[in-house]
Amino acid sequence: MVPREALDVLETRALVWQTVFALLKLGHKERLPGRPFGPDLPLFLVYGTALLSVYGRRPVRASSISRQLEIPRETVRRHLGQLVKLGILERRDGTYDIGESARHVPHAKAFVRTIHQAAARLM
């Protein structure tokens, strides 16, 4: 029989993973509507890493994202190109920036609600 403490740890881990997946799926649905989540996951991670750079006021470059995600630079470059085609990113002077369509998050309340619900379950 599994000790109660071990079950608590497993329950917490499961809740954290449920929250991570819920947030990823919400974000994906918002930014890449109508596209399948699974195959788009690497693309969406590149987008998320680009966002972190933009909000950290650092230039968005394929090489820095490649190092951060530990995936080939050429793969990142392809994903960045696809994000530009989708209008989510814009290419500017050798770097990337957030595209006009990605500047607004109309369903931000859904993200906050998901986080609050997960935090409440952890208490």
Residue type, 116: H
**Collapsed DSSP state (helix, strand, coil) of residue 99:** coil
Burial group, residue 68, by CB count within 10 angstroms (0-12, 13-18, 19+): middle
pLDDT at 6 > cutoff 80: no
The pLDDT score that the predictor gives to residue 5 is 75
**Bridge partners of residue 89, in order along the sequence:** 98
| Residues pairing with 90 in the sheet | 97
Domains, the chain, with CATH or none: 4-122 (1.10.10.10)
Predicted model pTM = 0.79
pLDDT in tens, 50-88: 999 988 999 999 999 999 999 999 999 999 999 999 989
- Which alpha helices (DSSP H) does 32-92 contain, by range? 37-55, 62-69, 73-85
